[in-house]
Structure 1
Amino acid sequence: MGIAGEVLKSQNETEGKLKSSPPGQQQENNSEEDEEAKKKKEAEASWRTMKYTLIFFGVTLSGLSGYIVGTWGAPERDEEGNVIEDQFSLKPLALQYILRSWNAIMNYSQMIRDPSRDKLLPDPLKEPYYQPPYTLILEMTGVLVHPDWTYQTGWRFKKRPGIDFFLAQVGPPAFEVVVYTAEQAFTAFPILDALDPNGYIMYRLFRDATRYVDGHHVKDLDCINRDPSKVIVLDWNTQSVKSHPRNALRIKEWKGNDDDRTLVDLALLLKTIATSEVQDVREVLDFYNQFDDPIEAFRENQRKLQVSVNPSSNSFFF
């Protein structure tokens, strides 16, 4: 039998199998083939979409990179249009542009991480104006207010019990009160306006005034423009004050409970420091920071004071 005969025989066998198969099985086979073909087309379409997307992003990224290198990498020129030489001028031209662009990116990144200015507060007031002897720096969230969410009101900031008494006690003339928070200005400004209608808070510093270190917004007291021995920071987050831990009185974060009286005790502690004319507040803070709850330690000292000291005495016990 020749090749033609074998082909004819194979076709006859295939047709015979199809004829011998039940109609339902034939339909099932056709359905499976259609499903496989459909999946194959979908996979091909998905791959084409992904390929075109990658090509688009690649072209866009290349164009953006070229624009940055061409714009930021160009040398500066003087008023007459002459090129101003810099540390990259002696290198090959292409390398000059790349290095200048990279340097500009690093400078921009550093600008974002650093405080917005070298002096966050103006110089201390001079006579005939009065400058409070101590500076009190307050975190807003978790110390003065608590973010609260309900289905009825959505997000709102809850005012801490005793805050009116606290601000009245620690405001001028005893302390120069500064709110220094990692919150954005547009969020914090209306809250502070409602929180302090009497104007006890003299200055407000926001996220742009912090130093971004290892994923945390740190309060940098080196930029405060005040004597560190007269600066007290009230905060619950140790990461926020890690650059100057000795200036921080680390209190517990307020969670929104209505029976809290921490601010009342804090006001008494701070008034005691101011009235006693402490030369270096860090020595007092070192003592209280050795306790898990500095405020409870102060309360205990006050109880001892009431027992051991004549009520008419002007002595203070830290």
Structure 2
Amino acid sequence: MYKIVWFGTLNKSIGYIGKKKTRLLSPCEKICLNTARKTVQRCDKNYSPPKLSRIKNFYTYSIVLGSLFGMVMWAIYKLGKPEEDHRGPIEDEFSQLPWFRQYIMRMWHTLQYYEKMMEEPQMAKLLPNVVPPPYIQPPYSLVLEIKDVLVHPDWTYQTGWRFKKRPGVDYFLQQCSRNFEIVIYTSEQGMTAFPLLDALDPYGYISYRLVRGATDLVEGQHTKNLDYLNRDLSRVIVVDCDPYTTPMHPDNSLVLTKWLGNDDDVQLFDLTAFLQLVAEHQVNDVREVLRYYRQFEDPIEQFKDNQRRLQEQNQESIQNLPTSERQWNLTLLGRSLRGSSIK
């Protein structure tokens, strides 16, 4: 009685082994077994000899690790090499260190510099100086966010991402451009904001455009530092739907409710009326007005309520007129004023 015993893999010698005697395979049997082995290998496409698999894995890992090592060494050299002039390398505070440590320290210093550039605005002055007479400079600056104030991102399966234009945008920009220097200041990337503004403002009512590179990165939040605007902050109004974008200047912010894309929205028309009232009364410091409206969840709705109450109160006459300095305050805050043009 004989039986077939497999030694290791199919490519090793195979023989018949009994309890007392063993004989080698005949040439015909070897041919049959080789044919069977090739058939099994063709059926198993993932089959490869163990030694060949180990060699492939070794070369794969070697290429990956070698590439990573080469990239790290290139970064150390590129970012850590000393600056040079026509006389050769320029000495710096790291020149006395061992050469490899010099490169490491310079690279670390360069990376910190780039990180600081990303967190801080690119320029100390984001806007040019106010133009002198006889050129006309609007008396106020209106700083606007795009997203959820002028447009709303909308996604559908058929069209993908699109931006929906808010009702009243054209009227709003046209009317406000008469008394306000309109500045777009957004945390959106320039590649998104610039084409959008080109389509939103074909007549050029917007004076300046500031994007994410002009913001400060504070704890992962892109904030707007109005100190870099190069404008008198007593005449700067920021319109946004996020109260945390101007943490250093909350009194300059008019925080609106987010527009969610509904077609029956009229908030921009009401906002236009509010801003026109500020300009007509020549408010010396807009922060006093904005500070009052900051206490309300919906400042524009509160402004409309104030105007309604004012219309009722104006039916009564006031014997003693207040000073002209306080006239804007009474009207904007919804108090009675005889002879007011706000009806």
TM-score range, shorter chain: 0.7 to 0.9
Q: Report Cα offsets for 1:72-127 as digits up to 9, x if no partner.
A: 2222222222x322222232322221111110111112222222322211111111
1:180-199 aligned at under 5 Å gives the runs 180-199=185-204
Relative to structure 1, the CA distance from residue 198 to residue 57 in structure 2 (aligned partners, 3 Å threshold; closer, same or farther) is: same
Q: Report Cα offsets for 1:115-144 as digits up to 9, x if no partner.
A: 232221111111111111111010111000
Counting matched residue pairs gives: 284
AA in 1 matched with 2:331: F
Relative to structure 1, the CA distance from residue 57 to residue 317 in structure 2 (aligned partners, 3 Å threshold; closer, same or farther) is: same
Shift of 1:240: 2.2
Aligned to 2:87: 80
Relative to structure 1, the CA distance from residue 305 to residue 119 in structure 2 (aligned partners, 3 Å threshold; closer, same or farther) is: same
Aligned to 1:224: 229
Relative to structure 1, the CA distance from residue 257 to residue 79 in structure 2 (aligned partners, 3 Å threshold; closer, same or farther) is: same
Length-normalised TM-score, structure 1: 0.79
Aligned to 2:71: 64
The structure, 1 or 2, with the larger RCO (C-alpha pairs under 8 Å, 6+ apart) is 1
Please state whether the residue corresponding to 1:201 is helix, strand or coil: coil
Length-normalised TM-score, structure 2: 0.74
1:235-314 aligned at under 5 Å gives the runs 235-309=240-314
Relative to structure 1, the CA distance from residue 300 to residue 187 in structure 2 (aligned partners, 3 Å threshold; closer, same or farther) is: same
Shift of 1:178: 0.7
Check if 1:111 corresponds to 2:122: no
CA contact (8 A) 2:289 2:332 kept: no
Give the structure with the higher percent helix: 1
Check if 1:127 corresponds to 2:133: yes
Please state whether the residue corresponding to 1:316 is helix, strand or coil: helix
Aligned to 1:170: 176
Relative to structure 1, the CA distance from residue 202 to residue 50 in structure 2 (aligned partners, 3 Å threshold; closer, same or farther) is: farther
Relative to structure 1, the CA distance from residue 155 to residue 56 in structure 2 (aligned partners, 3 Å threshold; closer, same or farther) is: same
Shift of 1:50: 7.2
Q: Which moved more, 1:101-110 or 1:46-55?
A: 46-55
Q: Report Cα offsets for 1:192-241 as digits up to 9, x if no partner.
A: 22222222111111122222222222222122111122111111123322
Relative to structure 1, the CA distance from residue 75 to residue 251 in structure 2 (aligned partners, 3 Å threshold; closer, same or farther) is: same
Check if 1:98 corresponds to 2:113: no
List gaps (5 residues or longer) in structure 2: 1-17, 20-44, 322-326, 334-343
Relative to structure 1, the CA distance from residue 236 to residue 42 in structure 2 (aligned partners, 3 Å threshold; closer, same or farther) is: farther
Alpha-carbon separation, structure 1, partners of 2:87 and 2:281: 64
Q: Which moved more, 1:198-207 or 1:133-142?
A: 198-207
CA contact (8 A) 1:235 1:248 kept: yes
CA contact (8 A) 1:305 1:317 kept: no
Shift of 1:288: 0.7
Aligned to 2:155: 149
Please state whether the residue corresponding to 1:124 is helix, strand or coil: coil
Relative to structure 1, the CA distance from residue 45 to residue 166 in structure 2 (aligned partners, 3 Å threshold; closer, same or farther) is: farther
RMSD: 3.0
Aligned to 1:20: none
CA contact (8 A) 2:144 2:183 kept: yes
Shift of 1:54: 5.0
Q: Report Cα offsets for 1:11-39 as digits up to 9, x if no partner.
A: 98xxxxxxxxxxxxxxxxxxxxxxxxx99
Moved over 6 A (4+): 38-51, 311-315
Alpha-carbon separation, structure 2, partners of 1:62 and 1:101: 16
Please state whether the residue corresponding to 1:107 is helix, strand or coil: helix
CA contact (8 A) 2:234 2:287 kept: yes
CA contact (8 A) 1:161 1:260 kept: yes
CA contact (8 A) 2:223 2:247 kept: yes
CA contact (8 A) 2:80 2:103 kept: yes
Alpha-carbon separation, structure 1, partners of 2:53 and 2:331: 77
Aligned to 1:6: none
Alpha-carbon separation, structure 1, partners of 2:200 and 2:141: 19
Q: Which moved more, 1:87-96 or 1:294-303?
A: 87-96
